[in-house]
Structure 1
Amino acid sequence: MMMTIQHISAFSNGQLGGNPAGVVICDELPKDKEMQKIAADVGYSETVFAAPVEDRWRVRYFAPEVEVDFCGHATIALGAALAKHAGPGVFTLDLNHARITVEGHFSETEWGASFQSPPTRSGPVASGVLNEALTLFGLSSTDLDMRIPPAVAHGGGDHLVLALKDRKTLQDMKYDLEQGRILAMREGFITLNLVYGETAQLFHARNPFPLGGVYEDPATGAAAAALAGYLRDINWPHDGHITIHQGEDMGVPSCLQAEITPERGASIRVSGNVRLIREPQIWEIK
């Protein structure tokens, strides 16, 4: 069985940056162990697999070490790839625990997509978990911007949100990957989302992904959706949208746009451009 793996960087800033994803569009999904092996060999934070089922696409996401239920940047990459494959339009995606849509576009001048996230929700962080997270990053409570209290925000998966008072503290972020993995696995955190609000609508973010064995992602659409939903929950003056700059401190500048409707818990629309990293790769499953 032969399949083609596309290498697409999502949420790119022009022809720079973005978060690489493997994209596999196939007639039938491979077995679990094969998808996991492909994702590990590709080596990106996620590889997405999609196969047509009636008028929809069955979609699964694999990090190098584990399957995840939803991945925003891989969804943007997939939506863009489907637009190139089948023409621009809206595609319905059946995930493990949700049905969402992604709208892809492709032209000579622009290539990208917008997805509608799963429903959002948020809640407080247990004090013991918060203290463990602060210790992990070498932070104290005085480093936090309490206008945006620590929270567990959900937008297809749970993300720990820590808002910081200043950009320099965010720039200096460091942590132990193994300790982060232990925390993330125990609490079910897809990512650990550290953010700094430069203005009410402009955020800078760093997004460790220890659950997947990745020190840091340069662009994370699922975390962007979760953050946007949380800002809505706390009545943040977002004015219906936020822009998130991520990856700058990694030297991989990325840009994510999130549109926020007034309805609490509703889907968040997350948009970004993509770029081709390299030519598609042919993979044989024996």
Structure 2
Amino acid sequence: DARFDRQAIADALSLKLSQIGFENHVPSFWSAGAPFVMVPVHDVAAVSTIEFDSLRWEQLTPMAEGRLASAYVYCRGGVNHTARFHARKFGPGAGNLEDPATGSAVAALSGAIHFFDQFVDGHHPVLVEQGVEMGRPSFIHLHLDIAGGEISNARIGGHAVKIAAGELYV
């Protein structure tokens, strides 16, 4: 159970403290092969104004699985009216700061949304939109099967468009 300094998170995202969290969703740590701090934000408008400060993020994020956890910022709803969640992914360091579609983050998000929303037993399709602010909107389809109050199966899918190809000769 990780506890996070919500003001430090707000500062790293250039948001107000009051914009961090919604309903019972609070910042939490989840991993599905790659570590993420899930940061719930009040609404799409707040998510769209984020200016990520990687130096501030590196000071607050935990080291897990040999690397610093990335930020996965999410809120309910979306620009696309069928989206259940709108998200942005930011990574620490000088590399790829924002990603238009992050399957590993949505896999980790499945734990957070089930923990906070307590889905009933059955099948739950969840559409997550990401990459909107980058001009590269992506729709990630998450399917959760809940049995006995726990996630029994999670599947992630979507469509991809090839934008580059190459070969590496060693």
TM-score (norm 1): 0.50
After superposition, what is the alpha-carbon deviation per residue over 1:130-170, rounded to whole angstroms, capped at 9, x for unaligned?
Answer: 33222211233311213322211222232111111121110
After superposition, what is the alpha-carbon deviation per residue over 1:70-96, rounded to whole angstroms, capped at 9, x for unaligned?
Answer: xxxxxxxxxxxxxxxxxxxxxxxxxxx
* CA displacement at 1:193 relative to structure 2: 0.8
Residue 135 of structure 2 aligns with which residue? 251
- Give the distance between the partners of 2:127 and 2:96, measured in 1 at CA: 24
Residue 166 of structure 2 aligns with which residue? 281
Is 2:91 aligned against 1:214? no
After superposition, what is the alpha-carbon deviation per residue over 1:166-194, rounded to whole angstroms, capped at 9, x for unaligned?
Answer: 21110001122233344446465432011
Indicate the structure (1 or 2) with the bigger Cα radius of gyration. 1
Is 2:58 aligned against 1:176? no
Change (3 A) 1:223 1:211: farther
* CA displacement at 1:236 relative to structure 2: 4.2
Residue 137 of structure 1 aligns with which residue? 13
After superposition, what is the alpha-carbon deviation per residue over 1:96-151, rounded to whole angstroms, capped at 9, x for unaligned?
Answer: xxxxxxxxxxxxxxxxxxxxxxxxxxx4x4244x3322221123331121332221
Q: What residue identity is the alignment partner of 2:92?
A: P
Q: What residue identity is the alignment partner of 2:8?
A: E
* CA displacement at 1:237 relative to structure 2: 4.9
Q: What residue identity is the alignment partner of 2:71?
A: L
Unpaired segments ≥5 residues, structure 2: none
Residue 156 of structure 2 aligns with which residue? 270
Change (3 A) 1:282 1:173: same
* CA displacement at 1:198 relative to structure 2: 1.4
Is 2:74 aligned against 1:190? no
Q: Contact 1:191 / 1:211 at 8 angstroms: preserved in 2?
A: no
TM-score (norm 2): 0.79
Q: What is the number of residues matched between the two proteins?
A: 160
Change (3 A) 1:132 1:282: same
- Give the distance between the partners of 1:150 and 1:185, measured in 2 at CA: 13
- Give the distance between the partners of 2:90 and 2:4, measured in 1 at CA: 21
Residue 157 of structure 1 aligns with which residue? 34
* CA displacement at 1:267 relative to structure 2: 4.4
Change (3 A) 1:150 1:135: same
Say what the alpha-carbon RMSD is for the aligned residues: 2.6
Q: What residue identity is the alignment partner of 1:137?
A: L
Q: Tell me the secondary structure at the aligned position of residue 274 of structure 1.
A: coil
Equivalences for residues 77-96 of structure 1 within 5 A? none
Higher relative contact order (CA 8 A, sep 6+): 1
